[in-house]
């Protein structure tokens, strides 16, 4: 995946601001706003990791749990016929619909990321 930085279970998409002549990013998938920037890749990486370390330390000092990017639960809306067919296949495979959908997503992610 292009333009993505990862650290301690957090990730952010990196962008470039021509107006500011720097790279910047914001941690994705949490309610808190954590941003970082740098004019070089090294500066960007250092500020990214520092921002996450500072966030974790701030949470510890305040006695709150740092937010995780994803809970593992989400709602989706799909075509009713596809829902019916997926439900039927999950029953045939003797697994829950959740397991069926998780496996389908994992398969697509693996193919897309060439894992």
Please name the CATH architecture into which domain 4-62 falls.
2-Layer Sandwich (3.30)
Q: State how far the Cα of 89 lies from the Cα of 71, in Å rounded to an integer.
A: 26
Q: pLDDT tens track of the chain, all 115 residues? A: 478 999 998 999 999 999 999 999 999 988 889 999 999 999 999 999 999 999 999 999 999 988 887 778 888 999 999 999 999 999 999 999 999 999 999 999 888 887 5
Residue 102 to residue 44: CA distance in whole angstroms: 34
Contact present, 45 and 2 (Cβ < 8 Å) = no
16-49 residues labelled b (16+ CB within 10 A) or e (exposed): eeeeeebbbbebeeeeeebebbbeeeeebbebbe
In the prediction, which pLDDT does 35 show? Answer: 95
Residue-level pLDDT at 97: 93
């Amino acid at each position: 995946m292009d333009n993505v930085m990862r650290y301690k279970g957090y990730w952010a998409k990196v962008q470039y601001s021509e107006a500011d002549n720097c790279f910047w990013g914001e941690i994705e998938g949490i309610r808190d706003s954590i941003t970082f920037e740098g004019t070089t890749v090294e500066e960007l990486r250092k500020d990214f990791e520092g921002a996450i370390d500072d966030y974790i330390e701030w949470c510890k000092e305040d006695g709150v749990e740092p937010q995780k990017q994803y809970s593992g639960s989400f709602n989706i809306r799909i075509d009713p016929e596809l829902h019916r067919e997926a439900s039927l296949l999950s029953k045939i495979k003797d697994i829950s619909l959740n397991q069926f959908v998780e496996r389908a997503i994992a398969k697509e992610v693996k193919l897309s990321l060439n894992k």
